Amino acid sequence: MTVTTVRRAARVIFAGSLFALLAAGIGTITAASTGASTRTITIGASLPLTGPLGGLGSDQEIGYRAEVNDVNRAGGIKIGGIKYKIDLRILNNSSTATTASNQARALVTRDGAIALLGGATPTISVPQADVATLLHIPFVTTNNPDDAFGSANPKGWKYAWDVFFKEETQAKTVGKWANVCTSNKKVALFNDTEKDGTFERPLYRAAVKSDGDRVVGTYTFPPTTTTFSSFITSAKAAGAQIVIGQMLPTAGIALVKQMKSLGFHPDVVILAKAANAENWWKGLGSLATGSGMELTWSPAAHYPGTPQILKSWGKKLSVDTLASAVPDFGAAQVLFHAITKAGSTNAAKVNAAITKTNGMFAVGHVKFLKNHTAVTRYLVGQWVHGRVVQVYPPVPGVKTECPMAGLR
């Protein structure tokens, strides 16, 4: 059975355990009757299940449904002494920002969602956060670098919250890991023009410089770019042995394939976002061997609930999938914890409870800053024989494989 088949099976299992009942009204709870008295609250999520971000969106769905499944299996969320089950409504925005915005609005105004969970990357989540702000509906998301998300609203977010890592930490950690391998310390940077890629570019430059590396090529391109021959030729001529970048999966897959065909074989390759889902291995096969991957979660991090995750739904999934899915599991935990603390589905009360979040969740400690972001750790994984292992910070018994075997 392939990883993709397992992933789909996991979604079916989680979906089958949910209660598809009548939606709750905005800011209130409505009891739905199925013979016996059963109460539900509706939570909405517009995710990129297809399109360029499809791999990330599918992982998000797994994480959100897993937490909803856990809550419902325990009887639901207790509000006012009564437990309410969660009706999770998920729509596919096909990786399109306008659709993500429209669906977020529909989930609230049509389906009665009392809160929203967000999609991956600022391209999808920021338009959703704008809708949440306009409608005064709590919105919790992840898979969005903190500063790119936090700065997306110059007036400051009111109802939108993001749980992820800081870009500066990302840049510094990538720089440290890249130098675990012996190289000539020449770096080529590949960043698309999406908000997170633009935000990260100068941070990468500063980080590698502080580690004694030298940037010999900086290449910028629209997110949908799939032809990189001129950039690759330039980086190869400059003698770059380290490639660091941030781009969509489709672009990253095209870049690595063209690097191979043009005889450019750097020792270290890590492309943030591109390598963060199983479609990276599906698209590249053995070419991906030795490439780096950003991790927000890893079994080696020993976050709360890790044994339970690995024993239950995580048993069917690989680390690359869990690295994207568990942060969403954690984001849903944060939202449901706030609803419980508020003792209400009133939007203002739930939002106030999110503000006070300060505790341990599946992604570690969560406490929101003034810009409505909560900082998680940044870890580096490496693709080895079709699976991902954490290599930085170092894990006992695991070492970075150098040089990148897939391009040899």
pLDDT band at 313 (very low <50, low <70, confident <90, very high): confident
Summarised one tens digit per residue, pLDDT across range 2-60 is 434 434 444 433 433 332 322 333 333 333 333 345 699 999 999 999 999 998 999 99
CA angle 299, 325, 146 (to 5 degrees): 95
Given this model, what pLDDT does residue 316 score?
87
List CB contacts of 102: < 8 A, sequence separation 6 or more: none
Given this model, what pLDDT does residue 167 score?
95
CB-CB contact of 131 with 101 (8 Å): yes
Q: Tell me the domain boundaries of the chain.
A: 3-165+300-377, 168-295+381-407
List CB contacts of 367: < 8 A, sequence separation 6 or more: 357, 358, 359, 374
Instruction: Taking residues 129-138, report their average pLDDT.
Output: 98
Q: Which two tokens stand for residue 239?
A: 């003698």
Helix (H, G, I), strand (E, B) or coil at 139: strand
Distance CA(404)–CA(389), nearest Å, equals: 14
CATH class in words for 3-165+300-377: alpha beta
Summarised one tens digit per residue, pLDDT across range 71-110 is 999 999 999 889 999 999 999 999 999 999 999 999 999 9
Summarised one tens digit per residue, pLDDT across range 184-237 is 999 999 999 998 899 999 999 999 999 999 999 999 999 999 999 999 999 999
Summarised one tens digit per residue, pLDDT across range 244-277 is 999 999 999 999 999 999 999 999 999 999 998 8
What are the Cα distances from residue 351, in Å, to 44, 122, 160, 335, 347?
16, 21, 9, 9, 6
CB-CB contact of 1 with 89 (8 Å): no
List CB contacts of 119: < 8 A, sequence separation 6 or more: 45, 46, 47, 48, 53, 57, 60, 93, 100, 125, 128, 141, 143
CB-CB contact of 156 with 206 (8 Å): no
Of residues 34 and 121, which shows the higher confidence score?
121
Distance between first and last Cα of the chain: 29
pLDDT of 163 strictly over 70: yes
Distance CA(187)–CA(206), nearest Å, equals: 12
Given this model, what pLDDT does residue 37 score?
52
- For 19-126, where are the E strands, in sequence order? 30-33, 37-47, 77-79, 82-92, 115-117
Instruction: Taking residues 384-406, report their average pLDDT.
Output: 93
User: In terms of DSSP H, where are the helices of 218-305?
Assistant: 229-237, 249-261, 279-284
DSSP3 helix / strand / coil % (the chain, rounded to 5): 45, 25, 35
Summarised one tens digit per residue, pLDDT across range 321-354 is 999 899 999 999 999 999 999 999 999 999 999 9
Nearest residue to 107 via CA among 194, 48, 43, 173: 43
CB-CB contact of 189 with 215 (8 Å): yes
Distance CA(185)–CA(351), nearest Å, equals: 47
Pick the CATH number of 168-295+381-407 from 3.40.50.2300, 3.40.710.10, 3.30.465.10, 3.90.180.10: 3.40.50.2300
List CB contacts of 109: < 8 A, sequence separation 6 or more: 26, 135
Distance CA(341)–CA(339), nearest Å, equals: 5
CB-CB contact of 18 with 325 (8 Å): no
Given this model, what pLDDT does residue 379 score?
96
CB-CB contact of 125 with 60 (8 Å): no
CB-CB contact of 311 with 114 (8 Å): no
